[in-house]
Structure 1
Protein backbone atom coordinates (compact mmCIF):
# COMPACT_ATOMS: atom_id res chain seq x y z
CA UNK A 1 0.00 0.00 0.00
CA UNK A 2 1.29 3.41 -0.99
CA UNK A 3 2.30 5.64 1.92
CA UNK A 4 0.98 9.25 2.11
CA UNK A 5 3.55 11.99 1.63
CA UNK A 6 3.58 15.75 1.35
CA UNK A 7 2.59 17.14 -2.07
CA UNK A 8 2.61 20.75 -3.19
CA UNK A 9 0.03 21.69 -5.83
CA UNK A 10 0.69 24.72 -8.03
CA UNK A 11 -2.57 25.79 -9.61
CA UNK A 12 -2.42 28.54 -12.24
CA UNK A 13 -5.77 30.26 -12.63
CA UNK A 14 -7.76 33.23 -13.71
CA UNK A 15 -8.59 35.38 -10.69
CA UNK A 16 -12.32 34.63 -10.43
CA UNK A 17 -14.69 34.83 -7.51
CA UNK A 18 -15.58 31.43 -6.00
CA UNK A 19 -12.78 29.43 -7.61
CA UNK A 20 -10.91 28.87 -4.35
CA UNK A 21 -14.12 27.51 -2.82
CA UNK A 22 -14.61 25.06 -5.71
CA UNK A 23 -11.00 23.89 -5.50
CA UNK A 24 -11.23 23.39 -1.74
CA UNK A 25 -14.39 21.32 -2.32
CA UNK A 26 -12.31 18.89 -4.42
CA UNK A 27 -10.14 18.19 -1.37
CA UNK A 28 -13.15 18.12 0.98
CA UNK A 29 -15.01 15.51 -1.13
CA UNK A 30 -11.95 13.24 -0.92
CA UNK A 31 -11.53 13.85 2.85
CA UNK A 32 -8.09 15.43 2.29
CA UNK A 33 -6.97 17.98 4.86
CA UNK A 34 -5.25 21.06 3.42
CA UNK A 35 -2.09 21.77 5.44
CA UNK A 36 -1.30 25.11 3.81
CA UNK A 37 -2.68 27.37 1.09
CA UNK A 38 -1.31 30.52 -0.47
CA UNK A 39 -2.68 32.67 -3.29
CA UNK A 40 -0.67 35.23 -5.25
CA UNK A 41 0.01 36.73 -8.63
CA UNK A 42 2.19 34.60 -10.88
CA UNK A 43 4.95 35.43 -13.32
CA UNK A 44 2.35 35.87 -16.08
CA UNK A 45 0.15 38.95 -16.25
CA UNK A 46 -3.46 38.31 -15.17
CA UNK A 47 -2.64 34.75 -14.05
CA UNK A 48 -2.73 33.87 -10.36
CA UNK A 49 -1.20 30.93 -8.57
CA UNK A 50 -2.55 28.87 -5.69
CA UNK A 51 0.02 26.86 -3.74
CA UNK A 52 -1.68 24.08 -1.77
CA UNK A 53 0.09 21.59 0.50
CA UNK A 54 -1.53 18.27 1.42
CA UNK A 55 -0.51 14.87 2.76
CA UNK A 56 -1.75 12.15 0.36
CA UNK A 57 -0.59 9.29 -1.84
CA UNK A 58 0.75 9.93 -5.34
CA UNK A 59 -2.25 8.11 -6.81
CA UNK A 60 -4.53 10.58 -5.02
CA UNK A 61 -2.36 13.51 -6.16
CA UNK A 62 -2.78 12.48 -9.79
CA UNK A 63 -6.57 12.27 -9.42
CA UNK A 64 -6.81 15.59 -7.57
CA UNK A 65 -4.67 17.40 -10.18
CA UNK A 66 -6.90 16.07 -12.97
CA UNK A 67 -10.03 17.13 -11.09
CA UNK A 68 -8.63 20.64 -10.46
CA UNK A 69 -7.66 20.92 -14.15
CA UNK A 70 -11.34 20.41 -15.07
CA UNK A 71 -12.36 23.69 -13.42
CA UNK A 72 -13.11 26.27 -16.13
CA UNK A 73 -10.93 29.05 -14.69
CA UNK A 74 -7.94 26.75 -14.06
CA UNK A 75 -5.25 27.09 -16.68
CA UNK A 76 -3.07 24.27 -15.39
CA UNK A 77 -2.51 22.33 -12.15
CA UNK A 78 0.80 20.71 -11.26
CA UNK A 79 1.76 18.60 -8.24
CA UNK A 80 5.22 18.00 -6.83
CA UNK A 81 6.76 15.90 -4.09
CA UNK A 82 8.51 17.83 -1.34
CA UNK A 83 11.98 16.90 -2.63
CA UNK A 84 11.11 18.43 -6.03
CA UNK A 85 10.56 21.95 -4.69
CA UNK A 86 12.36 24.77 -2.95
CA UNK A 87 9.95 26.14 -0.39
CA UNK A 88 9.68 28.53 2.51
CA UNK A 89 7.15 29.85 5.01
CA UNK A 90 7.23 33.03 7.06
CA UNK A 91 6.23 33.23 10.70
CA UNK A 92 5.55 36.21 12.97
CA UNK A 93 5.93 35.98 16.74
CA UNK A 94 4.59 38.76 18.99
CA UNK A 95 6.43 38.86 22.31
CA UNK A 96 6.13 40.99 25.49
CA UNK A 97 8.75 43.75 25.49
CA UNK A 98 10.25 42.66 28.82
CA UNK A 99 11.60 39.49 27.10
CA UNK A 100 14.00 41.64 25.14
CA UNK A 101 15.82 42.67 28.33
CA UNK A 102 15.45 39.48 30.38
CA UNK A 103 18.97 38.00 30.38
CA UNK A 104 19.46 38.10 26.61
CA UNK A 105 18.13 34.57 25.95
CA UNK A 106 15.44 35.74 23.49
CA UNK A 107 17.98 37.91 21.67
CA UNK A 108 20.24 34.87 21.45
CA UNK A 109 17.39 32.77 19.97
CA UNK A 110 16.70 35.46 17.39
CA UNK A 111 20.34 35.58 16.37
CA UNK A 112 20.88 31.79 16.40
CA UNK A 113 17.84 31.14 14.18
CA UNK A 114 18.55 33.98 11.72
CA UNK A 115 15.26 35.61 12.65
CA UNK A 116 14.85 39.37 12.88
CA UNK A 117 12.91 41.92 14.88
CA UNK A 118 10.55 43.78 12.52
CA UNK A 119 8.64 45.97 14.98
CA UNK A 120 9.11 47.29 18.50
CA UNK A 121 6.58 49.14 20.66
CA UNK A 122 6.49 50.00 24.36
CA UNK A 123 4.51 46.82 25.17
CA UNK A 124 5.69 44.22 22.65
CA UNK A 125 8.02 43.42 19.77
CA UNK A 126 7.53 41.27 16.67
CA UNK A 127 9.98 38.68 15.37
CA UNK A 128 9.97 37.43 11.77
CA UNK A 129 11.41 34.05 10.79
CA UNK A 130 11.52 32.65 7.26
CA UNK A 131 12.34 29.00 6.65
CA UNK A 132 10.89 25.53 6.48
CA UNK A 133 7.98 24.62 8.74
CA UNK A 134 10.25 22.68 11.11
CA UNK A 135 12.42 25.79 11.60
CA UNK A 136 9.51 28.13 12.34
CA UNK A 137 7.96 25.52 14.65
CA UNK A 138 11.24 25.07 16.51
CA UNK A 139 11.46 28.83 17.18
CA UNK A 140 7.79 28.82 18.26
CA UNK A 141 8.52 26.09 20.82
CA UNK A 142 11.57 27.95 22.11
CA UNK A 143 9.71 31.28 22.46
CA UNK A 144 6.56 29.91 24.18
CA UNK A 145 8.08 29.81 27.68
CA UNK A 146 8.87 33.53 27.37
CA UNK A 147 5.19 34.52 27.02
CA UNK A 148 4.44 34.34 23.32
CA UNK A 149 1.48 36.70 22.77
CA UNK A 150 0.61 35.89 19.15
CA UNK A 151 1.89 33.55 16.44
CA UNK A 152 1.11 33.36 12.75
CA UNK A 153 2.67 31.27 9.97
CA UNK A 154 2.07 31.93 6.29
CA UNK A 155 1.20 29.33 3.72
CA UNK A 156 4.02 27.70 1.80
CA UNK A 157 5.54 29.41 -1.19
CA UNK A 158 7.58 27.26 -3.55
CA UNK A 159 9.31 26.92 -6.88
CA UNK A 160 10.33 23.70 -8.58
CA UNK A 161 13.91 22.51 -8.55
CA UNK A 162 13.52 21.20 -12.08
CA UNK A 163 13.71 23.80 -14.82
CA UNK A 164 10.13 24.15 -16.00
CA UNK A 165 9.30 26.64 -18.68
CA UNK A 166 5.96 27.32 -17.04
CA UNK A 167 5.69 30.83 -18.46
CA UNK A 168 5.80 29.77 -22.10
CA UNK A 169 3.62 26.70 -21.44
CA UNK A 170 0.97 28.79 -19.69
CA UNK A 171 1.20 31.62 -22.20
CA UNK A 172 0.27 29.13 -24.95
CA UNK A 173 -2.70 27.91 -22.92
CA UNK A 174 -3.88 31.46 -22.12
CA UNK A 175 -3.58 32.68 -25.74
Structure 2
Protein backbone atom coordinates (compact mmCIF):
# COMPACT_ATOMS: atom_id res chain seq x y z
CA UNK A 1 0.00 0.00 0.00
CA UNK A 2 1.24 3.47 -0.90
CA UNK A 3 1.60 5.95 1.99
CA UNK A 4 2.50 9.66 2.03
CA UNK A 5 4.50 10.78 5.06
CA UNK A 6 5.22 14.43 5.83
CA UNK A 7 8.10 15.20 8.18
CA UNK A 8 9.44 18.47 9.59
CA UNK A 9 13.13 18.28 10.49
CA UNK A 10 15.94 20.53 11.61
CA UNK A 11 17.76 21.84 8.55
CA UNK A 12 21.08 20.12 9.34
CA UNK A 13 23.46 18.09 7.22
CA UNK A 14 23.06 14.33 7.38
CA UNK A 15 19.37 14.35 8.37
CA UNK A 16 18.16 13.04 5.00
CA UNK A 17 20.75 10.26 5.08
CA UNK A 18 19.74 9.13 8.58
CA UNK A 19 16.04 9.12 7.74
CA UNK A 20 16.38 7.28 4.42
CA UNK A 21 18.61 4.78 6.22
CA UNK A 22 15.78 4.14 8.66
CA UNK A 23 13.42 3.38 5.74
CA UNK A 24 16.03 1.10 4.15
CA UNK A 25 16.56 -0.88 7.37
CA UNK A 26 12.79 -1.48 7.52
CA UNK A 27 12.83 -2.65 3.86
CA UNK A 28 10.53 0.11 2.60
CA UNK A 29 10.63 1.04 -1.06
CA UNK A 30 10.76 4.85 -1.25
CA UNK A 31 8.86 5.82 -4.39
CA UNK A 32 9.69 9.52 -4.08
CA UNK A 33 11.29 12.02 -1.73
CA UNK A 34 11.05 15.79 -1.82
CA UNK A 35 12.94 18.03 0.58
CA UNK A 36 12.91 21.79 0.91
CA UNK A 37 13.24 24.62 3.38
CA UNK A 38 9.99 25.80 4.97
CA UNK A 39 8.91 29.30 5.99
CA UNK A 40 11.51 28.90 8.77
CA UNK A 41 15.05 28.61 7.27
CA UNK A 42 16.08 26.32 10.16
CA UNK A 43 13.38 23.76 9.31
CA UNK A 44 12.94 21.56 6.21
CA UNK A 45 9.89 19.59 5.10
CA UNK A 46 10.45 16.08 3.78
CA UNK A 47 7.65 14.35 1.91
CA UNK A 48 8.07 10.62 1.40
CA UNK A 49 5.87 8.40 -0.73
CA UNK A 50 6.60 4.84 0.37
CA UNK A 51 5.28 1.38 -0.37
CA UNK A 52 4.44 -0.55 2.81
CA UNK A 53 3.28 -4.13 3.24
CA UNK A 54 1.07 -3.48 6.26
CA UNK A 55 -0.23 -0.62 8.37
CA UNK A 56 1.70 -2.08 11.31
CA UNK A 57 4.97 -1.51 9.41
CA UNK A 58 4.06 2.15 8.78
CA UNK A 59 3.23 2.68 12.45
CA UNK A 60 6.63 1.22 13.44
CA UNK A 61 8.47 3.55 11.04
CA UNK A 62 6.50 6.58 12.29
CA UNK A 63 7.46 5.71 15.88
CA UNK A 64 11.14 5.34 14.89
CA UNK A 65 11.05 8.64 12.98
CA UNK A 66 9.70 10.41 16.10
CA UNK A 67 12.76 9.16 18.02
CA UNK A 68 15.24 10.77 15.59
CA UNK A 69 17.03 13.76 17.15
CA UNK A 70 16.46 16.19 14.26
CA UNK A 71 12.84 15.20 13.59
CA UNK A 72 10.36 17.80 14.84
CA UNK A 73 7.07 16.40 13.52
CA UNK A 74 5.96 13.29 11.60
CA UNK A 75 2.56 12.66 10.06
CA UNK A 76 1.09 10.05 7.74
CA UNK A 77 -1.13 12.26 5.57
CA UNK A 78 -2.30 9.57 3.17
CA UNK A 79 -5.90 9.48 4.40
CA UNK A 80 -6.22 13.23 4.95
CA UNK A 81 -7.52 15.85 2.57
CA UNK A 82 -4.24 17.01 1.01
CA UNK A 83 -2.89 19.10 -1.84
CA UNK A 84 -0.21 17.09 -3.65
CA UNK A 85 1.83 18.21 -6.64
CA UNK A 86 4.70 16.95 -8.74
CA UNK A 87 6.85 18.77 -11.31
CA UNK A 88 8.15 17.09 -14.46
CA UNK A 89 10.50 18.44 -17.13
CA UNK A 90 10.12 16.48 -20.36
CA UNK A 91 12.38 16.87 -23.39
CA UNK A 92 10.82 15.34 -26.49
CA UNK A 93 11.70 14.98 -30.14
CA UNK A 94 9.75 17.74 -31.91
CA UNK A 95 10.30 18.74 -35.50
CA UNK A 96 8.87 22.13 -36.58
CA UNK A 97 5.89 20.51 -38.36
CA UNK A 98 4.86 18.73 -35.12
CA UNK A 99 5.05 21.70 -32.76
CA UNK A 100 1.49 22.96 -33.30
CA UNK A 101 0.06 19.54 -32.45
CA UNK A 102 2.33 19.23 -29.41
CA UNK A 103 1.46 22.74 -28.21
CA UNK A 104 -2.25 21.93 -28.33
CA UNK A 105 -1.62 18.83 -26.25
CA UNK A 106 0.54 20.76 -23.77
CA UNK A 107 -2.12 23.49 -23.40
CA UNK A 108 -4.78 20.89 -22.61
CA UNK A 109 -2.72 19.86 -19.56
CA UNK A 110 -1.96 23.48 -18.59
CA UNK A 111 1.70 22.63 -19.07
CA UNK A 112 4.18 24.99 -20.68
CA UNK A 113 6.93 24.96 -23.25
CA UNK A 114 10.13 26.19 -21.62
CA UNK A 115 12.68 25.52 -24.38
CA UNK A 116 12.64 24.87 -28.12
CA UNK A 117 15.57 23.53 -30.11
CA UNK A 118 15.90 22.55 -33.77
CA UNK A 119 14.59 19.04 -33.21
CA UNK A 120 13.33 19.08 -29.63
CA UNK A 121 11.09 20.82 -27.12
CA UNK A 122 11.32 20.87 -23.32
CA UNK A 123 8.02 20.97 -21.49
CA UNK A 124 7.11 21.62 -17.87
CA UNK A 125 4.04 20.14 -16.19
CA UNK A 126 2.88 20.57 -12.60
CA UNK A 127 0.05 18.57 -11.12
CA UNK A 128 -0.94 15.47 -9.26
CA UNK A 129 0.78 12.20 -10.07
CA UNK A 130 -1.98 11.04 -12.46
CA UNK A 131 -1.89 14.25 -14.50
CA UNK A 132 1.89 14.04 -14.93
CA UNK A 133 1.67 10.35 -15.90
CA UNK A 134 -1.10 11.03 -18.42
CA UNK A 135 0.89 13.74 -20.21
CA UNK A 136 4.02 11.57 -20.29
CA UNK A 137 2.01 8.70 -21.81
CA UNK A 138 0.64 10.99 -24.52
CA UNK A 139 4.12 12.33 -25.32
CA UNK A 140 5.81 8.92 -25.62
CA UNK A 141 4.95 8.49 -29.33
CA UNK A 142 6.94 11.66 -30.14
CA UNK A 143 10.00 10.20 -28.42
CA UNK A 144 11.07 11.24 -24.94
CA UNK A 145 14.74 12.24 -24.97
CA UNK A 146 15.02 13.13 -21.27
CA UNK A 147 12.72 13.16 -18.26
CA UNK A 148 13.24 14.66 -14.79
CA UNK A 149 10.62 14.49 -12.02
CA UNK A 150 10.59 15.99 -8.55
CA UNK A 151 8.45 13.42 -6.81
CA UNK A 152 5.33 14.33 -4.91
CA UNK A 153 5.23 17.09 -2.33
CA UNK A 154 2.12 17.65 -0.22
CA UNK A 155 0.41 19.75 2.44
CA UNK A 156 -2.80 19.19 4.36
CA UNK A 157 -5.71 21.26 3.11
CA UNK A 158 -6.87 24.27 5.13
CA UNK A 159 -10.41 22.96 5.16
CA UNK A 160 -11.99 19.53 4.92
CA UNK A 161 -14.31 20.63 2.12
CA UNK A 162 -13.22 22.61 -0.91
CA UNK A 163 -15.12 23.77 -3.93
CA UNK A 164 -13.03 24.08 -7.08
CA UNK A 165 -13.98 26.94 -9.37
CA UNK A 166 -12.29 28.01 -12.60
CA UNK A 167 -8.99 29.75 -11.75
CA UNK A 168 -9.57 29.81 -7.98
CA UNK A 169 -10.29 27.65 -4.98
CA UNK A 170 -13.14 28.65 -2.66
CA UNK A 171 -13.06 27.15 0.80
CA UNK A 172 -16.20 26.09 2.66
CA UNK A 173 -16.01 25.53 6.43
Superposition TM-score, scaled by structure 1 size: 0.82
**Aligned match of 2:86:** 89
Q: How many Å separate the matches in 2 of 1:148 and 1:45?
A: 37
Q: CA RMSD for the aligned pairs?
A: 1.8
Name which of 99, 102, 107 aligns with 2:98.
102
Residue deviations 1:128-147, cap 9 Å, x none?
A: 11111111111111111112
**Aligned match of 2:170:** none
CA positional deviation for 1:114: 1.5
Going from structure 1 to structure 2, the CA distance change for 1:103 and 1:77 (only over 3 Å counts) comes to closer
Q: How many Å separate the matches in 1 of 2:103 and 2:33?
A: 31
Q: How many Å separate the matches in 2 of 1:70 and 1:10?
A: 15
**Aligned match of 1:79:** 76
CA positional deviation for 1:64: 0.9
Alignment partner of 1:61 is 2:58: yes
Corresponding residue SS for 2:73: strand
Residue deviations 1:118-165, cap 9 Å, x none?
A: 1223342211111111111111111111121111111211111256xx
**Aligned match of 1:167:** none
Gaps of 5+ in 1: 164-175
By percentage of residues, which structure has more strand?
2
CA positional deviation for 1:55: 2.2
By percentage of residues, which structure has more helix?
1
Matched length: 158
Moved over 3 A (4+): none
Superposition TM-score, scaled by structure 2 size: 0.82
Alignment partner of 1:29 is 2:36: no
**Aligned match of 2:152:** 156
Going from structure 1 to structure 2, the CA distance change for 1:51 and 1:103 (only over 3 Å counts) comes to closer
**Which segment is superposed worse, 110-119 or 75-84?**
75-84
Gaps of 5+ in 2: 160-173
Name which of 3, 8, 11 aligns with 1:7.
3
Indicate conservation of the 8 Å contact 2:89/2:122, yes or no: yes
Q: How many Å separate the matches in 1 of 2:126 and 2:79?
A: 17
Going from structure 1 to structure 2, the CA distance change for 1:50 and 1:118 (only over 3 Å counts) comes to same
